[in-house]
Chains A and B, each alone.
Chain A
């Protein structure tokens, strides 16, 4: 079955710096890759996603890149702010099992003012 590895497990940056979180997946049939942000005590919130027919997607300070050949995808956050502090999860799913998201273990991002 699908396995998603996520690195690093913790990341500390200064406000204004960029943050990059990387994930690899094992199943080449996976075609949908969302990223979720979960603040302490709150629900995971979808912040950006990418499908396998696209190499990069950007939404304001957040971008995701996908390398299908290498089976890895990354989340890039620029100009980080203290409110970006949270746990970020990457996930993968494939056609026919789209309700079955396989998650990485999460990255705890701390943005220091």
Chain B
């Protein structure tokens, strides 16, 4: 079974731009969570989607948003990029009846 995939793997943007990241969960997984990983703050929860609905949200500003499609693929969007948004963005998926989360390889976002 294929693992969680994320595209693109690397991205360079400038301040003020916006970016969209994509996550395809493991087949059969309907829950997708997004995390931001930085050296200073570690792994921080952004939001979780299940059956196209946002189920939980972390403490990030409204510039960070997401959505989930009917095939469980998810996207997250960051508008008006700031230097501090430079990070590895990870998504993780889990089964509807499970709680184990399996991570994708991440998208490395650099904001210049």
Contact = CB atoms under 8 A, between A and B. Distances in A.
A is bound by B = yes
Contact of B90 (A44, A49, A97, A106): A44
Interface residues of A, number: 22
Nearest to B3: A43
Contacts of B90: 43-44
The interface centre, meaning the residue of B43, B44, B92 with most chain A CB atoms within 10 A of its CB, is B43
Contacts of A102: 45
Given A44-B90, A46-B100, A101 B45 contact: yes
B42 interface: yes
B24 interface: no
B99 to A, nearest CB: 4
Given A100-B58, A103-B42, A32 B99 contact: yes
A42 B58 CA distance: 24
Interface of B: 4, 31-33, 35, 42-45, 48, 50, 55-56, 58, 90, 92, 94, 99-106
19 contacts: A34-B101, A42-B105, A43-B4, A43-B106, A44-B43, A44-B103, A46-B101, A49-B100, A89-B42, A99-B50, A99-B55, A99-B94, A100-B33, A101-B43, A101-B45, A103-B42, A103-B43, A105-B42, A106-B42
